[in-house]
Chain A
Amino acid sequence: MPKTGIPGKKLIELYKSMLKIRKVELRIEELYSQDEMKTPVHLCIGQEATSAGVCACLKKEDYVFTNHRGHGHYLAKGGDLKAFISELYCKEAGCSRGRGGSMHLIDERVGLLGASAIVGGSIPIAVGAALGSVFQKKKSVSAVFFGDAAAEQGVLYESLNYAALKKLPVIFVCENNFYSVFSNLKSRQVKDNIYLRAKVFSMPAHRVDGTNVMDVYSTCAKAVKYARSGKGPVFMECRVYRWRKHVGPGSDIELGYRSEKELDSWLKKCPVNTFKERLLKTKLLNAKKIHSIDKELDSEISEAFEYAQKCALPDKKEALKYLFHEKDDYALD
């Protein structure tokens, strides 16, 4: 087995990060039918490696912007689990205080500055955060996750142009899962070549196996180094697959818009299991360690769900709150 060049500790961290996402998503799926999480959930089961691989390259001071399918990005960047689950349960203790729901997660304390449910919507905002970082001489990089359909939006190309023009520290991460709701990429784009379009803007652009967390991590680590040194943005197209429906729990394979054979081929490439097998072979993991990681994560997740279920709902009288940040007066600072 070839050496990865990634330290063993980091590999375990990547495994835990992916596994946490998988377990949280499965728990959401399991409990969703109780109808207590009254918010549409876009599960990222099958896409965990992109979240884990990219975010493992980032520091706390770096920014992440995400989209409607953002549970994994939130968790991998270190977003608070209890606040996330509470948000799904529509509680005031939710990360967005019950005003955002599943599609609008935020944890500003770890640099996760928001999620847009308009396809491509958070891309320019990430570019702006990078511009702010340059203004402030902070050396923070800004990473943004978006899907393949964002490559059909003009705002992506406007953003690529501007980030490249100003050499801003942005990591563009396209998670190409080949489907926009029920529509295959082939019916929407001339060619399956999203990453090549970024190259036109004179920035490094890579196509990565998004089910292989080591590929994602290695590519992104170089990208972050490049961006942080002031050389400009980098583009990554990570090829992944959405195992579940566009929105909601469960499979939709019976609808027939994609084949069972296609799904099976991706199930075989499960990012979590294939990586676990590898770690077992290289002796970085063993049955005992796997068991203890499982136990630790399961109990953390159970605790978060119990917490969320018990938390208070928002106060109806506060429905207007947070529309504006008020100043007591307009006196100058």
Chain B
Amino acid sequence: MPWTNLFVERKEPPFDQDEGKDLRKISFAEAIREALDQALERDKRVFVMGQGVDAPGGLWGTTLDLHKKHGAKRVFDVPLSENALTGVAIGAALVGMRPVFVHNRPDFILLSMDQIVNHAAKWSYMFGGKVKVPMVIRSVICRGWGSAAQHSQALHSLFMHIPGLRLVMPSTAYDAKGLLISSIVDENPVIFLEHRWLFKHTGYVPTGLYSIPFGKGAVRKEGNDVTIIGISHMAVEAIRAAAELQKEGIDAEVIDLRTLKPLDTGIILESLKKTGRLIIADVGWKTGGVGAEISAIAAECGFADLKAPILRIGCLDTPTPSSYVLEEEFYPGVDDIVQAARQLLKK
């Protein structure tokens, strides 16, 4: 489909660049594929399932030809029975396998909320830790090209609300590979969300296997005037906004949380202590969203450090419209972050 090539950003974010002999530049999508490839290679318990994982395009390249390399028994297409197939993944995990279930849109995950929320998230606690459910649910979220309301949601706030789930949202190729490996290695159900606009971003990624600990955010740019927390693709937008703001003499600190559950509250509060101002830029809706949760944490634990009101940036509280004019209004971006920072710094 044309939009897969057209609306993807090509500007490279200026971070995680590190020259080294085992590093090379690959795309976010290639990093995902490499993590799956190496996990399948290393661990016979791992298998990858989902609609189209063995299709010619390989889900934006993230599963490309893995079925040819690792066999159709380990990388396989599934019927469109999202709820049952999620249960199938849970059952396989319970008896010692490591399933990775891929959804090419998060909207389809809603059909499997019973198995995710009532079963996967609860099976460890509800049975006193006697069994575990090590599984990964991967999904490609957000923007396409006029994809409208049912092919473009983020939905991470729904998962953040549920005890028993890990929630991972990488924004760089390096993190995508390392965090996906951590997700497969983890002993619990993990929701792993990949923003579609990140797929063609490139970054330096080690050739070997590596994992990134959950619950450790990254400071993408240091600054003293305002803290900007970016979720998923908004971390990239936040870095761009920070560069704009620098020209105006506003020194912004940019934080990429990388995982929302567990959440690195330490990195948020520490930054707030320094800047006294907080902006949270999310790829989802504002109401009842991740920004609300982070705001509450900042108010509860960092109130004394606040010099200004906390500002949240998110999608309009409507279903995603399809016309590009309305889409531009719906999705937040660099300009919204810049505006918010100016407002806080009264410039």
Rounded to whole angstroms, the CA-CA distance of A289 and B101 in the bound complex is 54
Q: Tell me the smallest distance from the CB of B45 to a CB of chain A, in Å.
A: 8
User: What residues on A are CB-neighbors of B119 within 8 Å?
Assistant: 116, 118, 121-122, 125
A114-B94, A130-B91, A155-B114 known; A330-B186 Cβ under 8 A: yes
Does the CB pair A128–B126 fall under 8 Å?
no
User: What residues on A are CB-neighbors of B126 within 8 Å?
Assistant: 96, 99-100, 104, 114
User: What residues on A are CB-neighbors of B128 within 8 Å?
Assistant: 94-100, 106, 322
- From B15-23, B207-215, B289-297, the one touching the partner chain is B207-215
Q: Is A24 an interface residue (CB 8 A)?
A: no
Q: Is A308 an interface residue (CB 8 A)?
A: no
A133-B95, A158-B81 known; A125-B90 Cβ under 8 A: yes
Q: Is A325 an interface residue (CB 8 A)?
A: yes
Q: Which residue of the partner chain, among A63, A126, A321, contacts B129 with CB atoms under 8 Å?
A: A321
| Residues 275-333 of A at the B interface (beta carbon under 8 Å) | 321-327, 329-333
Q: Mark A32-72, 1 if CB is under 8 A from B, else 0.
A: 00000000000000000000000000000001010000000
Q: Tell me the smallest distance from the CB of B14 to a CB of chain A, in Å.
A: 27
Rounded to whole angstroms, the CA-CA distance of A142 and B92 in the bound complex is 11
Q: How many residues of B contact A (CB 8 A)?
A: 52
Which residue of chain B lies nearest to A63 when distances are taken between CB atoms in the complex?
Answer: B95
Q: Mark B38-54, 1 if CB is under 8 A from A, else 0.
A: 00001101010000000
User: What residues on B are CB-neighbors of A104 within 8 Å?
Assistant: 126-127
Q: Is A249 an interface residue (CB 8 A)?
A: no
Does the CB pair A131–B91 fall under 8 Å?
yes
Rounded to whole angstroms, the CA-CA distance of A38 and B292 in the bound complex is 37
Q: Tell me the smallest distance from the CB of A145 to a CB of chain B, in Å.
A: 15
Rounded to whole angstroms, the CA-CA distance of A99 and B263 in the bound complex is 25
- From A6-14, A159-167, A210-218, the one touching the partner chain is A159-167
| Residues 181-221 of B at the A interface (beta carbon under 8 Å) | 181-182, 185-188, 209, 211-214
Does the CB pair B164–A323 fall under 8 Å?
yes
Does the CB pair A106–B88 fall under 8 Å?
no
Q: Tell me the smallest distance from the CB of A70 to a CB of chain B, in Å.
A: 12
Does the CB pair A162–B47 fall under 8 Å?
no
User: What residues on A are CB-neighbors of B88 within 8 Å?
Assistant: 124-125, 127-128, 131, 159, 162
Chain A to chain B contacts (Cβ below 8 Å), 22 pairs = A95-B127, A95-B130, A99-B128, A100-B126, A114-B123, A118-B114, A122-B119, A123-B84, A124-B83, A124-B88, A125-B119, A155-B114, A159-B81, A159-B84, A159-B87, A159-B88, A322-B125, A322-B129, A323-B125, A325-B129, A331-B211, A332-B185
Closest 4 CB pairs of A and B: A128-B91, A124-B87, A97-B128, A158-B84
